Structure 1
Amino acid sequence: MTTALKTATANINDIPTEAELVQRARDMIPMLLEKAESVEKNRMVSPETIKAFVEAGFFRILQPARFGGYEMNPAVFYKVLMELGRGCGSSAWNMMILGVHQWEFGSLPDQACADVWGTDDRTIIASSYPPFGKVEEVEGGYQISGIWKTSSGCDHGAWAFLGGLRRDAQGNVIDRLSMLVPATDYEIEDDWHVFGLAGTGSKSLVVKGTFVPYHRVHSLIQYDKDDRGTHFLYPFNQIFFGSVSAVIVGMAQGGIDEYIRQMKVRTSTLDGSNASLSPYVKDRLGNAVVRVRSARARLLQMMAETTEIVERGELVPTYDRVHHMLDIARVGRDCEEAVMLLFKATSARGIYLSNPLQRILRDVIAASNHITQNADDTAGMLGAYLLGQQLPPMVFGLEPVSLND
C-alpha cells in the first residue's frame, strides 16, 4: 500500500453516524430549494453544491474504507438521497450518480482504486452505462471509441465508468462491461436540452479512441462470490437501480412538502375559503403520501432483507433478486402518480414556471423514464420466472435463468 493510501485509511477514524449524515442532508434542503430554479436554468449543478456534498461526507458513504471511505450500508446512502431529493431533484440526482460509483469500486482490483484515489481520495467519478460505443478486446484490455450519452454530472467527474458489450469471435454478446476511463480520454459534448431533470448536466462523452486495461473493467452482470467485503456483496443492479429509486422518493416527498405549503395558505376562487378544507385537496394529499411512503418502505425493506444475507457472507439468491428488481422499478410509477395527484389539484396556478410543483412533476416524470424504472418489463420477468419460464440472459446472469436453477 502506498503512503497516500495509508494516509487515506488512517483519516477515517471520525466516521459520522447514519443519523448525522441524514441530518446533514436534511439541513441542506433550504439551500437546495433556493438554488433549484437556477440549477435548472444553468442546466447543471453548481460546483459549490457539489463541494457542499463533498464536505458533508456524502461521497464517502459507499467508498471502501481502505481508500478513505466510510464503507457504510447502502441504505444510509438511500436515506441521504431521499432527503436531498426534497430540495432539488437535479442536485440529488447528481449526488446519486456521482456517489454510487464509490460502491462500484468494490468490484474492481485495488490497482483501479489506486489509479483514481491514490493521490486524492476525494476524486469524483461520472458514468454512462448504456453500451453506446464500440468495444474491441485487445491484448491487456479493451480498445474503445464512440459517444456515450446522458452522463449526469460529468462536468464534476475526473473519471467515468462507460458501458460496453463484450462479444465472442462470432460477434455474439457474452457480457456487459463497465470500463473506467480518465477524463483526459474523452470530451464532453453539451447536448443536454430536456424538459425534466434539466439541471443534471447529463451531457455526452465522446471517446475518439482509448485503451482500457483489464484492471479497470468489470462485468455488470456476473454475480459471483469473491474476496469482496460484505458491503460489496449486493448485486450491482440492486444498489445502482435502488439509488435511482431513492432519489425519486425524495423528489416525490418534495412535491408533498410543496403541496402542503401551498394548500395551507391557498384560498378558493369561488368563495374565498381555505383550500385545505376541500375534501378533494385532503384526499389527494393522503393518497399521495401513502404511495410515497410505500415506495420508501419497500426500498428500505429490500435493503434490510439483503443485508442479513450479505452479512453472512452469502450472495443474494436469484429468487430474491427478481422480486427486488420489481420492488425497485415500481417506485417511479408510484411516485409519478403521487405527484400528479397533487399537481392536478393546483389547477391553473400549478402551470406557472414560478410554481416549484411543476418543476418537481417534470423531474419525477423524467426520472421515472430511466431504464431502472421500467416496471412493465420487470413485472413480466417476475411473472415469467414464477411460472417456471426462463429469465433472459444479461440481466441476472450471463446465461438464461429459471426458477429451478
Structure 2
Amino acid sequence: MTTAVIATPAGDAIPTSEELVARAAAMVPALRARADEIEQARKVPGDVIAMFRDAGFFRILQPKKFGGWEMNPIVFMRVLGELGRGCCASAWSMMILGVHNWEFGLMDERAAADVWGEDDETIIASSYPPMGELTKVAGGWQLKGRWPTSSGSDHGAWAFIGALERNEKGVPVDRHALLVKRDDYEIIDDWYTFGLAGTGSKSVLIKDAFVPDHRAHSMIDYKLDHRGTNYLFPFAMVFYSSVSSVIIGFAQGAIDVFIDQMKVRSDNGTGARTALSPYVKDRLANAVTRVRSCRARMEQMMAHATSIVEKRELISIDDRIHYMLDMARIGRECEEAVLTLYKCTGARGVYRSNPIQRYLRDTLVAANHITQDADNNAGALGGYLLSGDLPPMLYARPDQG
C-alpha cells in the first residue's frame, strides 16, 4: 500500500502550527492501514520517514541557521499527538528522531555543522541511558559500551549517546549526551517485544569512539547562554513531554477506533445496539475525559513555560519538578483510558485483526518508558515539598547544589 505524501511549502515559507497539525491528521488513515505491516517488519519503513520529512516535521525544532523552522516545542508535540492516532510505532519513531533536532540548539554550532553542513535533512538516532564507559581525553571523550532501545536507529546517520562523567573516585559529576558517527557504532537487532515492536528500537554497540568536545553537552547543566528562546526549555522537559504527547495520540487513536466499532456493533445475545449501553457510554466518556485532561495539562504547562523563556529567564526548580510529574502522569492516565475501553470489547478485542489490542499493547509499553515513571516522580515531588531535596543527576550537577 502506498502512503500519501504531503508537500512542504516551497522557498522559505514556514507553515503555521495549524497547518502542520492538519498535515499530520491527514496521514492518520494511511498510517493506521499500515500499522500491522510495520509491527510485523519490526521497524518503520523508509517511505514513512520520508513522508514525515516531506511534510516538514523534522524542521519544526531544527535551528533556522541549519535549515529548520525553530518553532516552539508545543508545535512538535501537537503533531505527535495526531500521528499517534494512526500508527503508534511510526509516531514514536518520529518523536524520537525528530526531537533530536531541538538538541542542537543547546550545543556548539560546530556539532550542527558536522551533521547538516552538507545535508540539512540528515537524521539522528539516540540511546540516552548512561550504560557505557566515558573517559575524558585531550580535546574530547573516549566512549565505549552497549546501549539499548535506540528507536528508529536504522534511519540515523548519527546518534546521541548518553554517559556519565565520573571524577577520580568514580562518583558521577555530570550526565552527557555525545554525538557519534554511524561509522563508530554497530546496530544489534535485539528488539523483540509485545508492544511498539515496529519502532525498531535496537541496541547500539560502540567498541571505542572518540567524540570531540564540541559534539558533547551536559543534559543536566541548565543555564542561560547563547541558545535561542525556543531552546531555553530544560532538556528533560522537552524530551519527557514529547514522549507524553505521542502517548496522548495513542490513547486518542484507541478512542477513535472504539467509537467506530461501537457505532455499528450489536449485542450477540439480544441484538441490541451496543452504542445504547450505559456501560459502554460511561467507559467511553471517562476515557475521553482522561485523555482531554492530559492534553490540557500539556498545553497549560507549555504555555506557562513559554511565558518564562520568552522573557529570557530560566524555568525554576519549583516549576520543573512539578512539570516532571505532570508529564509522567500522562503515561499512566492514557494507559488507564485505553484499558478502560479495551474491557468493553469483549472477545472481539483479543484478535490481532482488531487494532484496539495493538493500541493497548503499544500504550502499555510506552507508559513503561522512564519518562513516564509516575511513582518515582511523585516521590521526588513529595520529597521536595517536604524537605527541599532533589533527585541526583536530573535537575543539576552535584556541584550546582
**Mapped contact 1:12–1:68 kept (Cα < 8 A):** no
* Deviation of 1:236 (Å): 0.4
Q: Spell out the pairing of 1:298-313 with structure 2 (5 A cutoff).
A: 298-313=297-312
Distance 2:204 2:264 in 1: 46
Distance 2:322 2:138 in 1: 39
Secondary structure in 2 aligned to 1:387? helix
**Mapped contact 2:174–2:398 kept (Cα < 8 A):** no
Indicate yes or no: 2:65 matched with 1:62.
no
Indicate yes or no: 2:42 matched with 1:43.
yes
Residues 132-141 or 42-51, more deviating: 132-141
Secondary structure in 1 aligned to 2:224? coil
**Mapped contact 1:125–1:157 kept (Cα < 8 A):** yes
Instruction: Provide the residue aligned with 2:6 in structure 1.
Output: none
Distance 1:204 1:83 in 2: 28
Instruction: Provide the residue aligned with 1:96 in structure 2.
Output: 95
Secondary structure in 2 aligned to 1:126? strand
Instruction: Provide the residue aligned with 1:135 in structure 2.
Output: 134
* Deviation of 1:13 (Å): 2.1
Q: Spell out the pairing of 1:312-323 with structure 2 (5 A cutoff).
A: 312-323=311-322
Instruction: Provide the residue aligned with 2:148 in structure 1.
Output: 149
Q: Aligned partner of 2:283: which letter?
A: R
* TM-score, reference length from structure 2: 0.96
Distance 2:375 2:11 in 1: 43
Distance 2:168 2:198 in 1: 42
Distance 1:329 1:102 in 2: 23
**Mapped contact 2:262–2:274 kept (Cα < 8 A):** yes
Instruction: Provide the residue aligned with 1:294 in structure 2.
Output: 293
Deviation digits for residues 47-90 of structure 1 (CA, Å, limit 9, x no counterpart): 00000000000000000001000000100000000000000000
* TM-score, reference length from structure 1: 0.96
**Mapped contact 2:248–2:334 kept (Cα < 8 A):** yes
Instruction: Provide the residue aligned with 1:8 in structure 2.
Output: none
Q: Aligned partner of 2:253: which letter?
A: G
* Deviation of 1:395 (Å): 1.2
Distance 2:15 2:267 in 1: 47
Count of aligned positions: 392
Instruction: Provide the residue aligned with 2:5 in structure 1.
Output: none
Q: Aligned partner of 1:328: which letter?
A: M
**Mapped contact 1:391–1:400 kept (Cα < 8 A):** no
**Mapped contact 1:392–1:400 kept (Cα < 8 A):** no
Q: Spell out the pairing of 1:228-307 with structure 2 (5 A cutoff).
A: 228-307=227-306
Instruction: Provide the residue aligned with 1:121 in structure 2.
Output: 120
Q: Aligned partner of 1:209: which letter?
A: D
Q: Spell out the pairing of 1:5-404 with structure 2 (5 A cutoff).
A: 13-399=12-398
- Structure 1 runs (4+) deviating above 4 angstroms are none
Deviation digits for residues 245-284 of structure 1 (CA, Å, limit 9, x no counterpart): 0000000000000000100011001211110100000000
Q: Aligned partner of 1:135: which letter?
A: L
Distance 1:12 1:303 in 2: 29
User: Which stretches in structure 2 are left out of the alignment for 5+ residues?
Assistant: 1-9
Deviation digits for residues 308-366 of structure 1 (CA, Å, limit 9, x no counterpart): 00000001011100100000000000000000000000011100000000000000000
* Deviation of 1:203 (Å): 0.3
Residues 134-143 or 283-292, more deviating: 134-143
Secondary structure in 2 aligned to 1:305? helix
Secondary structure in 1 aligned to 2:160? strand
Q: Aligned partner of 1:299: which letter?
A: M
* Deviation of 1:400 (Å): 8.6
Secondary structure in 1 aligned to 2:387? coil
Secondary structure in 2 aligned to 1:199? helix
Percent identity between the aligned chains? Answer: 59
Distance 1:13 1:196 in 2: 39
Distance 1:30 1:392 in 2: 42
**Mapped contact 2:251–2:337 kept (Cα < 8 A):** yes
RMSD value over aligned CA atoms? Answer: 1.1
Distance 2:268 2:256 in 1: 23
Distance 2:15 2:362 in 1: 31
